[in-house]
Amino acid sequence: MPKINLAAIQQTNRTGYPVPFAAAVYGRWVRKLGPDSGLADFGVSHVVLKPGAASSQRHWHEDEDEFVVVLSGQAVLVEDDGRVAMQPGDMAAFPKGEPNGHHLVNESDGDCELLAFGRVPTGDAHYPDIDLRWSRGGYQRKDGSAF
C-alpha cells in the first residue's frame, strides 16, 4: 500500500559525525522513508529537530541535490548569505555543486518537523565552518587525516 505508516518506521538519532561534531545533531530524530516504501532513486527522511538541535553541520555536496519542506514548528536556515526564518510550508533547495554551506537549526522552544529529500552522496561534501569533509565514503579532516 502506498500510504506510509510513519509510526511503523524506526526513528533514530544516530549520526556518523566524529565525536567533536556529533553533539550538534543529538536532538535530531530521523525516519528514513525510502527503504520501507520501496524508493530507490532518491531518499526522503522525516526529521524532527528538538529545541537546540541542528539538521546537520553546515555543509554542501558536490553531487547531491537536497530539498527540505518544513511541516510544523520553526527553524532557522543558516547558509553563506545569512539566516532565514523557516515556518510550516516553507521550502528550500540546495543544488549539487553549489558551494553554499547550509543547515537548519531549531532555536525555538518546540519541535520542528520537516521532510528532507536527497540521496546518499557518492562524491565529496564540504563543511566550511569545521575541520571536516566527507570523501571516499567516510569522514576525515580537511587535510585527509583520520579522526
The secondary structure of the chain, three-state, reads CCCCCHHHCCCECCCCCCHHHHHHHCCEEEEEHHHHHCCCCCEEEEEEECCCCECCCCEEECCCCEEEEEEECCEEEEECCEEEEECCCCEEEECCCCCCCEEEECCCCCCEEEEEEECCCCCCEEECCCCEEEECCEEECCCCCCC
What length does the chain have?
A: 147
pLDDT confidence of residue 35? 87
Each residue of 3-30: pLDDT tens digit?
999 999 999 999 999 999 999 999 999 9
The CATH class that applies to domain 6-140 reads mainly beta
pTM for this entry: 0.94
Look at strands 43-49 and 112-118 and give their pairing. antiparallel
pLDDT at 1 over 80: no
Banded model confidence at residue 122, pLDDT cuts 50, 70, 90: confident
Banded model confidence at residue 120, pLDDT cuts 50, 70, 90: confident
pLDDT confidence of residue 111? 98
Q: Mean pLDDT of all residues in the chain? A: 95
Banded model confidence at residue 121, pLDDT cuts 50, 70, 90: confident
Could you give the angle at the alpha carbon of 138 between the alpha carbons of 82 and 60, nearest 5°?
A: 20
User: Domain map of the chain by residue range?
Assistant: 6-140
Each residue of 61-87: pLDDT tens digit?
999 999 999 999 999 999 999 999 999
Give the CA radius of gyration of the chain: 15
Residue 83, C-alpha cell as written in the block: 539566516
Which is nearest to 132 in space by CA: 120, 122, 123, 143? 143
pLDDT confidence of residue 57? 98
Q: Please tell me the number of Cα atoms within 13 Å of 9 on its side-chain side.
A: 18
